[in-house]
Amino acid sequence: VTKTAAAERTRALSGIQPSGVVHLGNYVGAIQRWVAEQESQDAYYMVADLHTLTLPYDPASLQERTRETLAALIACGLDPDTVVLFVQSHVEQHTSLCWLLMALARTGDLRRMTHFKEKAAEEREAANAALFAYPVLQAADVLLYGAAEVPVGEDQRQHLELVSDIARRFNNAYGETFVVPRGVTPPAGARVMNLQEPTAKMSKSGRSDLGVIFLADSDDEIRRKCRRAVTDSGERVVGEEQGPGVRNLLAIYAALGQEPYGAVVAQFDGQRYGAVKDALAERVSTVLGPKREHYHALLGEGNLLNDIMEAGAERATKVARKTLSAARVAMGFSG
Ligand code: TRP
């Protein structure tokens, strides 16, 4: 198989924060698609460790979390020889460009970001300036690599609009320098909800681990979490009229099998919720099981991950250095 020449492929970039163990929501909502498109795009994926500073975190475990997240991406199928896989803090140009772009970001826009508003409300006086400036660092992440597309979850759409605004404003003020990127969000079905609280997104900050299926979960844990998933007061699947809990189970089943949601509803029509849960547990184990083994093997090997991080940083730095220099010159500094 000959790969499409780099010049014809779309440059894509995305990132994932190392804030906990990768879970089914990350996989279905983002990583599955990154893997499917890695051959057809010219893709850059990074572990966004600098974003960790926006909220309270544990410095002593930061590097371990970063390695785990990187291992999870590879275990889920991203091939470090095909995509450029790197750790954000290993490429110093991210923070340099972030400062330059601060001048293009409007405080009024930053204050309107839903993520900022929610987290700032939780953190109160302790909310730091990095939380406020978070989308500017994200702009630097994207613009450094000239990414045209940024595949992200729905919750990142607003940040991506701000990134595009910053790129446009920079080009108008200082001359054509950056590719204006486009956020690409998945179809509605790709949004995985918490199994215990099906109106809330499945996320690592959820209240109960019982509602979140992690990449490292054993088959027994997967079965237990599926069996205890919240449904509705009904007993059987009836057409498309499901409550959010059952809809979530069917949607996850469909997404993991890459089948249309409607086909899955038809397949389970008239069946008991218990049968849906069993079938889901089976499918989750089939998909995640081999990835879990690969994940543990990568973490146990040590040096391999170091080599991958080093090679990725080197490839990323080559591109980032040129873009940063162009931005500096455009803004009147020495290259
Ligand atoms: N902020 C994103 C998240 O929390 C992660 C991220 C960091 C990112 N930098 C990025 C996503 C650049 C896309 C592009 O999900």
Does residue 135 have its Cβ closer than 6 Å to ligand 1?
A: no
For ligand 1, the distance from its centroid to the CA atom of residue 143, given in whole angstroms, is: 12
Does residue 142 have its Cβ closer than 6 Å to ligand 1?
A: yes
What tokens does 334 get? 């020495």
Does residue 50 have its Cβ closer than 6 Å to ligand 1?
A: no
The CA-CA-CA angle for residues 194, 196, 199, to 5°, reads 55
Distance CA 154, CA 27 (A): 14
pTM surpassing 0.85?
Answer: yes
* H-helix segments, 147-192: 157-174
**For the sheet containing 10-16, what is the strand order?**
84-87, 41-47, 10-16, 149-151, 182-184
Closest ligand 1 atom number to CA of residue 16: 5
- pLDDT (0 to 100) of residue 311: 98
For ligand 1, the distance from its centroid to the CA atom of residue 258, given in whole angstroms, is: 25
Does residue 163 have its Cβ closer than 6 Å to ligand 1?
A: no
Does residue 67 have its Cβ closer than 6 Å to ligand 1?
A: no
- pLDDT (0 to 100) of residue 204: 77
What residue owns the CA closest to ligand 1's atom 13?
A: 14
- pLDDT (0 to 100) of residue 68: 97
For ligand 1, the distance from its centroid to the CA atom of residue 79, given in whole angstroms, is: 20
Distance CA 289, CA 85 (A): 23
- pLDDT (0 to 100) of residue 1: 47
Does residue 43 have its Cβ closer than 6 Å to ligand 1?
A: no
- pLDDT (0 to 100) of residue 7: 67
For ligand 1, the distance from its centroid to the CA atom of residue 17, given in whole angstroms, is: 7
Does residue 313 have its Cβ closer than 6 Å to ligand 1?
A: no
Does residue 141 have its Cβ closer than 6 Å to ligand 1?
A: yes
For ligand 1, the distance from its centroid to the CA atom of residue 196, given in whole angstroms, is: 26
- pLDDT (0 to 100) of residue 206: 64
For ligand 1, the distance from its centroid to the CA atom of residue 85, given in whole angstroms, is: 14
Distance CA 327, CA 241 (A): 53
- One digit per residue, the tens of pLDDT, for the chain of length 335 reads 455 666 689 999 999 999 878 999 999 989 999 999 999 999 999 999 999 999 999 999 999 999 999 999 999 999 999 999 999 999 999 999 999 999 999 999 999 999 999 999 998 888 999 999 999 999 999 999 999 999 998 889 999 999 999 999 999 999 999 999 999 987 766 789 999 999 998 987 766 789 999 999 999 999 999 999 999 889 999 887 789 999 999 999 999 999 999 999 999 999 999 999 999 999 999 999 999 999 999 999 979 999 999 999 999 999 999 999 999 999 999 98
Distance CA 212, CA 225 (A): 8
Site to probe by mutation for ligand 1, drawn from 119, 131, 132, 159 as the one with most ligand atoms within 8 Å of Cβ, is 159
Catalytic residues: 119, 201, 204
- pLDDT (0 to 100) of residue 21: 85
Distance CA 271, CA 236 (A): 5
Distance CA 158, CA 135 (A): 9
